[in-house]
Amino acid sequence: MTSFYENADNFESDVDLFVGEVVAAKWDVDGKWYRARIVAKARQEDDDYLDSEETAEEAMFDVDYVDFGDRDRRSRSQLATLKSDFFALGFQAIPCCLDGVMPR
């Protein structure tokens, strides 16, 4: 997947993205691309939002990585539409909770 999205000819960054959509998202830690679901568009009043007028490239999105369960905030330039071939494998992260565990 990373080799596909590192090729500029395969990268579509001019398409509108929506909450709930599954996209390719670049992970800063290793620089690779992974599948992620957009869970929210970040608001400008959030602490780590860009401190300027928003442009399409600067828009920020909260994403859940569907194969690992991590959540992160990505700029629009770090997201791309997901090629249909990358849907062949089901999502690997499984939502779960602990039964009977209560906060103090």
Boundaries of domain holding 78: 2-84
Establish if 102 belongs to a structural domain. no
pLDDT of residue 13: 64
- 67 φ, ψ (degrees, to nearest 5): -105, -10
Establish if 89 belongs to a structural domain. no
Establish if 92 belongs to a structural domain. no
Which residues 6+ apart lie within 8 Å of 93 measured at CB?
A: 64, 65, 66, 67, 68, 69
pLDDT of residue 9: 77
8 A C-beta contact, residue 61 and residue 46: no
Establish if 99 belongs to a structural domain. no
CATH number assigned to the domain comprising residue 9: 2.30.30.140
Establish if 96 belongs to a structural domain. no
Establish if 55 belongs to a structural domain. yes
Per the structure, how many domains does the chain have?
1
Instruction: Give the whole-angstrom CA distance, residue 75 versus residue 10.
Output: 18
pLDDT in tens, the chain (104 residues): 777 888 877 776 667 888 999 999 999 888 899 999 999 998 655 545 444 454 555 789 999 998 888 889 999 889 988 888 877 777 777 777 788 888 78
Establish if 69 belongs to a structural domain. yes
